[in-house]
Structure 1
Amino acid sequence: MKLSEIPKGFKTLLPEKAKKREYLINRIKEIVELWGYEPVVPPTIEFLDTFKLVDEKLEDVSFKLVDRFTGRLLAVRPDFTPQIARIVASSFKDDEPPFRFYYSGKVFRDSDEDREIFQFGFELIGVDEREADAEVVAVVVNVLRELGLKSFQIDIGHTEFLNSAVGELSIENRKEVVEILSHKDFSGLEIFCDQNGIEGERREKLRSLLELYGKEEVFERAEELFKSERVKRTINELKEVYGILKSYGFEKNVIFDLSERRGMEYHTGITFEVFHPLHGFSLGGGGRYNTLIEKFGRKLPATGIAVNVDALQELLERKNSLNVKKKKDFYIVDLRKELQTAYRIASELRNRGYSVSRDIVKRNYETSVKVAFKKGFKYVIVLNKEKEPKNLLFLSEEKFVPLPESTEEILDSIEKLIMVENM
């Protein structure tokens, strides 16, 4: 094993990508804060019980270690939502809802694929009305549009619809058939029907479930096929969300998918998942979880979503929609190492809003100039050459102009030269 290797499923962001990541996160923060969401920063490591309490499966994917103070098992965060639930139930137990929180950071899952995923998520807690679900979708649409994406779609479903529809057909192996339907496995569905003696109208209705995907017309088709009160309730909830999104003008990016059970085990109602045709996998997902926070001691409904920032950044870079301006203005090369003069010039330029770096490597100034422009700096200041002119401002590797002697005159000359260059 090479010492430069890192474990499978983890990644390093070099300066260019790291700069884009910082810009992307800050941009999303700006947008969600306009909707009234506030930041929380959960710990990276919690007791494993916090995650197991919510979903036993989270233990299987958690990186675990032993707390030397208590002897209890710890887990490196595999999911943010249980942490948000714990925080609301404990730190805000005497506060009145609603709560609007956002967070960003990495989740760690010991899986075969990505084991480190950067997420940005937000949760609306304490509101059971459908307007809360619609708001979460609306915020996501707002974020993606502001980032320059147009062709994305948000698939909206309901965790109860498939169970209710399959239950209406009196099928015994309900969990198995829901799994088959969720994967849109037509051949698997045919085999299931053959093995379980399902024929006629029941078989046709199961096949029809795979087609309940599209715009608002799927509601009418679903109501024609299934008549139970539970089915009616789920469809009415989806209709209500769609009506609110339509009033926002966000219906263009919404698709309804009643043929799949999305979300985590703790999701209990309407769910969302974000897709884009240029990215083969989900950009994020979430939904309603009305029973989760109660496990930590406070009964509150909630809904939320987490966006996969790694996937989103990859998509934006592919579309050239993440153009971050590099702030590399001046590079100062002081040949005599007279720190006071170079420091004063650098300090004053920074006060004027420029970014400034110093060359602190021993080499000839010609090499330093080449290195500076290769690194993307706009200008290079060379101080204290042995021959006249002693001070130079390089506008490119070949083009330069002389600078005066005193610090004040140097600064005035630089400002004038830059003004002429930008005219």
Structure 2
Amino acid sequence: MSRVNRWLLPDGVKEVLPPEAARIESLRRTVVDLYQAWGYNLVMPPLIEYIDSLLIGTGDDLDLATFKVIDQKTGRTMGIRADITPQVARIDAHSIACDGINRLCYSNTVLHTSAANPLASRSPLQVGAELYGHAGIDSDLEVISLMIETLISVGIKHPITLDLGHVGIYRGLIEAIGVADDDEKELFNLLQSKAVADIDQLIAAMDLTDEAKIILSQLPRLYGETTVLPKAEEIFGNVSAQVSAAIRYLRELAEAVKARFPQVTLYIDLAELRGYEYHTGVVFAALTPAFGQAIANGGRYDDIGSVFGRARPATGFSADLKVLSELSEVPIKQADAILMPIEAELTPTQRQSLWEMQSQLRQQGECVLAQLSDSPVPANCARRLVWQDSVWTLVATP
């Protein structure tokens, strides 16, 4: 590598400079404080773990996104985390082993082998919250509410749309109708691309009754406002009890979210299967017109704890704080610094008094800059300390 491009960073990886770094750190503190105010305890999982622990039960997508390295001490394969959620599930299952409700939150960097989408970073600053030990609408409502409150707290004033779905509807239809495994895999892939014409063609070729084909073909067409839910109940109501229960659950959850956040637009998509390999119930994502991808997402994943030997109901969400910072309308606070004089020009008494004065000011949250010898005066100092009447006094910088 030539000297010219030694400083280049990998594609999708960037450094954060002042003042944006200060804004992100300020928002991180705001978010963590918010989570703790809701009763969520902060955890700090390790950056790297053995791969058989890090990826167990998570599916192929996370495996592909994870950087692998060899542990020089043991020869075992290790992974640099690409998602903190499985680590927190392991912590709940083994490190804490709480039998009741357990609320955990986190704020750490993750690393991806490739960007999740064209707008994404390969090194997101992932923040999120997970709730373990409760299976029901109350916990899903709490987590969704906290996700929306996260967006509000970081200063996102753009309109927010909440995309709601439930993987139990798809699973219930496939099981009740009896779709063959190969057909189901192809149908799943087509649903991800929303290719309705191709979906219709695939369903028409399946070995199913005409009634089953008509029912299944409605799934990718049921999206939009909450009015699609009564229609879904009418179409799928007699398919199975599992499907009917999932639709009712989604309707009740949507009504509860709308009551709390009337300013949020609800969008229902019954063919939304994000995280299908590990999600077991409701799935959700927050979107805004100012960004072309979801800015936060989550869902229920009751089965993931079973791979750690302790199955527990679980629901949670996560977001990239770097993305939230880009969308935030919270102004970046520029420090109004106080300038200290050059100590070499002071008497011993003045130096000692200055040391005590600047310590007090910093403890009060002030930014105090020491003027170094043979260096220009910093530009961001609106005030300075001067020796007047045998005491250090704050005055405006001329």
The share of aligned pairs that are identical, in percent, is 28
Measure how far apart 1:3 and its partner are: 2.0
Tell me the TM-score normalized by structure 1.
Answer: 0.82
Partner of 1:164: 172
- Report the AA paired with residue 219 of structure 2: L
Partner of 2:192: 182
Work out whether 1:151 is the aligned partner of 2:163: no
Partner of 1:128: 135
Check conservation: 1:210, 1:259, Cα contact below 8 A: yes
Q: 1:228-307 maps to which residues of 2 (within 5 A)? A: 228=239, 229-249=241-261, 252-263=264-275, 265-307=277-319
Structure (1 or 2) with the larger CA radius of gyration? 1
Q: Distance in 1 between matches of 2:368 and 2:387?
A: 19
Q: Distance in 2 between matches of 1:143 and 1:197?
A: 47
- Report the AA paired with residue 90 of structure 2: R
Work out whether 1:326 is the aligned partner of 2:334: yes
Partner of 1:387: none
- Report the AA paired with residue 12 of structure 1: E
Q: 1:15-414 maps to which residues of 2 (within 5 A)? A: 15-57=18-60, 58-93=62-97, 95-111=98-114, 114-148=121-155, 149-172=157-180, 173-193=183-203, 196=206, 205-226=215-236, 227-228=238-239, 229-249=241-261, 252-263=264-275, 265-316=277-328, 321-334=329-342, 336-338=344-346, 341=350, 343-344=354-355, 345-363=357-375, 368-369=376-377, 372-373=378-379, 376-380=380-384, 404-405=387-388, 407-408=390-391, 410-411=392-393, 414=394
Check conservation: 1:268, 1:290, Cα contact below 8 A: yes
* 1:182–1:119 Cα change, 3 Å: same
Other structure's SS at 2:279 match: coil
Check conservation: 2:131, 2:314, Cα contact below 8 A: yes
Q: Distance in 1 between matches of 2:59 and 2:229?
A: 34
- Report the AA paired with residue 163 of structure 2: D
* 1:103–1:119 Cα change, 3 Å: same
Segments of 5+ residues of structure 1 without an aligned counterpart are 382-402
Residues 124-174 of structure 1: CA deviation (Å, up to 9, x unaligned) = 000012110111001112222233335111211111212333555554312
Check conservation: 1:154, 1:254, Cα contact below 8 A: yes
Q: Distance in 2 between matches of 1:13 and 1:264?
A: 33
Residues 35-66 of structure 1: CA deviation (Å, up to 9, x unaligned) = 11110110111110012312242333211112
Measure how far apart 1:193 and its partner are: 4.5
Residues 222-277 of structure 1: CA deviation (Å, up to 9, x unaligned) = 11221222210211221232243244345834322112212252111111111111
Other structure's SS at 2:34 match: helix
* 1:324–1:334 Cα change, 3 Å: same
Tell me the TM-score normalized by structure 2.
Answer: 0.86
Check conservation: 2:258, 2:266, Cα contact below 8 A: no
Check conservation: 1:100, 1:124, Cα contact below 8 A: yes
Structure possessing the higher relative contact order (Cα contacts under 8 Å, 6 or more residues apart): 2
Check conservation: 1:163, 1:174, Cα contact below 8 A: no
- Report the AA paired with residue 105 of structure 1: N
Measure how far apart 1:83 and its partner are: 0.8
- Report the AA paired with residue 109 of structure 1: H
Other structure's SS at 2:381 match: coil
Segments of 5+ residues of structure 2 without an aligned counterpart are none
* 1:7–1:249 Cα change, 3 Å: closer
Q: Distance in 2 between matches of 1:289 and 1:59?
A: 18
Higher mean displacement: 70-79 or 60-69: 60-69
Check conservation: 1:141, 1:253, Cα contact below 8 A: no
* 1:118–1:339 Cα change, 3 Å: farther
Check conservation: 2:154, 2:325, Cα contact below 8 A: no
Higher mean displacement: 65-74 or 42-51: 65-74
Check conservation: 2:131, 2:316, Cα contact below 8 A: yes
